[in-house]
Amino acid sequence: MHSPTWLVLIVSLPREPSSLRVRAWRRLKTLGAAALKHGVYVLPAAAETTEQFQWLTQEVQRDGGDATLLRVERVENVTNEEIVRRFRAARDADYRTLTERYRRLLRTAEGRPRPGRRARLHEEAGRLGREFARLREIDYFGATAGAEALRAKEALESRLTPPPPTPPTPARFEDLRDRVWVTRPRPHVDRLASAWFIRRFVDPGARFAFTAPEARPPDAIPFDMVGVELGHHGDRCTFETLLAASGLRDSRLDAIAEIVHEADLRDGKYVRQEARGFDIAIRGLLAVTPDDAAMLATGLTLFEGLYAALGEEGLRPGARAHNKERQP
């Protein structure tokens, strides 16, 4: 990683009134500044961060405090790696809090809320979306928990998005051969499982592309994107949508659907102890696999292995006894 240049702000404010300290602290938090020690804060040097720190310097001095702004290549008693770690740790904590808020709202959005309730859900989703955008702006070094927050955000948006008027049917799958299938970058559990299902049961010659929804090729078949046929519908994840549309009856696929659902949505619909392990394993693989095509290859092998293992061991008696009834 290229060594960043740092902006170091040294701040001293009078003890009274305390509101001055609170205001300065809130401003530093909004900027995502990391504290090196009491009264010493740091940001990566850039045109925008420089301007923000300059404004804060003027505010502190106007309030009767003292502020000194420095631009340095390194801080002698703290390594660049440690400073970056502090930034990522702070954003990881913020993202995890936001992810939990998304999941609580996702559980609230189950079923078909009344119109008034649905409007409030959209309003709260909008607030969470603005908070997510704010965190992205101050996530200077790509905190890993941001991907999980994004998945929770997309899951909620999918649940609140009206389904397409024509759902996919098994008959339509028969014509899907040697096609390009497109989904979002950095595939996690639902996208990987869905890609495996597509190649294994729908289109053996499937080729996969990863792109933003607005940039997808017009002739490609989209999946696990907001507002598409092969995506989240109601409380179903994309894998469940594909399985239902295929018409396949296979207890191993049912088990995988429950694992994927719980790992992706964590809404408690199914009791699958394997889900947490799959989530952690795939997040770990994503962290060390920057190439999406390589991640896809690993995911295909992973789910093929899971399918085979379920066939060898079978479902334990009573393994689904505590699960809620699968929706038709």
pLDDT digits (tens, 9 = 90+) for 248-264: 999 999 999 999 999 98
Do residue 186 and residue 284 come from a single domain? yes
Do residue 57 and residue 84 come from a single domain? no
CA gap 182, 173 in Å, rounded: 16
Question: Taking each helix axis from N to C terminus, what angle separates 145-160 and 251-265, rounded to the nearest 10 degrees?
Answer: 110
Do residue 307 and residue 174 come from a single domain? yes
Return the pLDDT at 47. Answer: 87
E strands, the chain, are 6-12, 34-37, 40-44, 66-72, 180-183, 207-210, 221-222
Rounded to two decimals, what is the model's pTM?
Answer: 0.61
Do residue 68 and residue 86 come from a single domain? no
pLDDT digits (tens, 9 = 90+) for 234-248: 778 999 999 998 889
Do residue 185 and residue 291 come from a single domain? yes
In a domain, 324, yes or no: no
Least confident of 7-11, 57-61, 221-225, 265-269: 265-269
CATH number at residue 30: 3.30.70.240
In a domain, 165, yes or no: no
Do residue 87 and residue 22 come from a single domain? no
CA gap 12, 67 in Å, rounded: 6
In a domain, 292, yes or no: yes
Given 118, 134, 160, which residue is the final one in a domain?
A: 160
Given 133, 160, 187, which residue is the final one in a domain?
A: 160
Residue 164, sorted as left (phi over 0), alpha (psi -120 to 50) or beta, turns out to be: beta
CA gap 32, 41 in Å, rounded: 10
Q: DSSP states of 69-133 as a string?
A: EEEES-BTTB-HHHHHHHHHHHHHHHHHHHHHHHHHHHHHT-S---HHHHHHHHHHHHHHHHHHH
pLDDT digits (tens, 9 = 90+) for 131-154: 999 999 999 998 989 988 988 898
Do residue 91 and residue 126 come from a single domain? yes
Angstrom CA distances, 49 to 8, 88, 120, stand at 11, 17, 35
Q: What are the two backbone dihedrals, phi and then psi, of residue 22, each rounded to the nearest 5 degrees?
A: -65, -45
Return the pLDDT at 75. Answer: 87
Do residue 98 and residue 60 come from a single domain? no
Do residue 306 and residue 174 come from a single domain? yes
Average pLDDT over residues 57-72: 90
CA gap 212, 303 in Å, rounded: 24
Whether residue 312 has pLDDT greater than 70 = no
Q: How many domains does the chain have?
A: 3
CB proximity list for 34: less than 8 A, separation 6 or greater: 41, 42, 43, 83, 86, 87, 90
Do residue 68 and residue 88 come from a single domain? no
Range of the domain at 24: 6-72
Return the pLDDT at 328. Answer: 37
Do residue 191 and residue 228 come from a single domain? yes
- The terminus-to-terminus CA distance of the chain in angstroms comes to 50
In a domain, 321, yes or no: no
